[in-house]
């Protein structure tokens, strides 16, 4: 699950400050978008077969893994085919082991509303150049690469991950999300493979469902009055 960001916060503030009266410029075009006049068109949208989601497992960073024999520590998350294909471009460095990905679902468990940490990897064809485009929302002109991106889940691992001192981590319980982020950046950022280059990596932290609070009765001899001090 991705964090929600207000992409056009500055424009929205401008509209609010002018009581939504802008008729020209970026703010006016943004107002037209809010009215439904301007449309956001997704260019180069992948075919549906690339957007199919499937499950993989990762060991969460915020949960202490069990060392008991046969313990199942990996929680199921999802990724798209295109995200896995992007990961596969860098398979010699960005391995399932480094990401902590478990593909055997019998070794994972389902936890409702758990969203794994994601590495959002953006690639472009090696020979690509920027082309002129026009924003469907603000009508501003800009240049951009013909890029592709995908969110790849990652979790606790002891494969090719080092701690702050540079020592290889051997105790999975001591491995942190920051350790994994550094390893992922080293594995792909700026790297070139046949036909493609990674131009960016960003991260979304994992999200857990709130713990329920049930079956707790009020004490039979509760405290009286109010706290002092």
With respect to residue 222, please indicate whether it lies within any of the assigned structural domains: no
Q: What is the pLDDT of residues 11-29, one digit of tens each?
A: 777 777 777 777 777 777 7
Using CA of residue 218, residue 220, residue 224, residue 229, what is the dihedral sign?
Answer: negative
Q: What range does the domain containing 32 cover?
A: 16-42
Same domain for 99 and 57: yes
Q: What is the pLDDT of residues 91-120, one digit of tens each?
A: 999 999 999 999 999 999 999 889 999 999
**Which of 42-46, 49-53, 165-169, 197-201 shows the lowest mean pLDDT across its residues?**
42-46
CB of 145 closer than 8 Å to CB of 77: no
Same domain for 20 and 132: no
With respect to residue 100, please indicate whether it lies within any of the assigned structural domains: yes
Same domain for 34 and 89: no
Alpha helices in the chain (DSSP H): 9-17, 25-35, 81-89, 96-99, 177-188
Distance, in Å, from the CA atom of 148 to the CA atom of 190, rounded to the nearest integer, reads 15
With respect to residue 212, please indicate whether it lies within any of the assigned structural domains: no
Same domain for 181 and 83: yes
Same domain for 185 and 130: yes
With respect to residue 213, please indicate whether it lies within any of the assigned structural domains: no
Same domain for 27 and 78: no
Q: What total number of domains does the chain contain?
A: 2
Helix (H, G, I), strand (E, B) or coil at 10: helix
With respect to residue 210, please indicate whether it lies within any of the assigned structural domains: no
Same domain for 95 and 38: no
Q: Are strands 74-80 and 108-109 parallel, antiparallel or unpaired?
A: parallel
Same domain for 90 and 22: no
Same domain for 109 and 23: no
Closest CA to 183 of 207, 159, 205: 159
Distance, in Å, from the CA atom of 60 to the CA atom of 76, rounded to the nearest integer, reads 10
Same domain for 161 and 128: yes
Residues 6+ apart with CB under 8 A from 59: 65, 73, 74, 75, 100, 102, 155, 156, 157, 172
- Residue 223 DSSP code: -
Q: What is the pLDDT of residues 131-151, one digit of tens each?
A: 887 777 767 777 878 889 999
Same domain for 167 and 129: yes
Same domain for 105 and 60: yes
Distance, in Å, from the CA atom of 77 to the CA atom of 134, rounded to the nearest integer, reads 35
Residues 6+ apart with CB under 8 A from 195: 125, 126
């Amino acid at each position: 699950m991705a964090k929600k960001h207000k992409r056009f916060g500055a424009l929205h503030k401008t509209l609010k400050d002018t009581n939504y009266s802008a008729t020209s410029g970026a703010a006016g075009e943004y107002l037209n978008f809010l009215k439904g006049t301007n449309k956001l068109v997704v260019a180069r949208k992948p075919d549906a077969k690339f957007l199919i989601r499937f499950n993989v497992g990762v060991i969460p960073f915020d949960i202490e893994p069990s060392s008991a024999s046969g313990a199942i520590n990996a929680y199921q998350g999802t990724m798209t085919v295109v995200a896995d294909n992007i990961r596969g471009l860098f398979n010699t460095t960005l391995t399932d082991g480094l990401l902590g990905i478990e593909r055997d679902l019998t070794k994972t468990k389902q936890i409702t509303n758990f969203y794994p940490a994601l590495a959002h990897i953006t690639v472009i064809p090696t020979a690509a150049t920027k082309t002129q485009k026009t924003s469907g929302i603000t009508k501003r002109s800009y240049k951009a690469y013909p890029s592709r991106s995908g969110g790849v889940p990652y979790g606790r691992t002891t494969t090719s991950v080092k701690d702050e001192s540079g020592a290889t981590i051997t105790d999975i319980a001591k491995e942190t999300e920051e350790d994994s982020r550094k390893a992922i950046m080293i594995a792909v950022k700026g790297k070139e493979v046949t036909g493609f280059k990674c131009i960016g990596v960003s991260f979304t932290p994992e999200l857990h469902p709130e713990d329920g609070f049930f079956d707790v009765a009020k004490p039979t001899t509760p405290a009286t009055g109010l706290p002092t001090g």
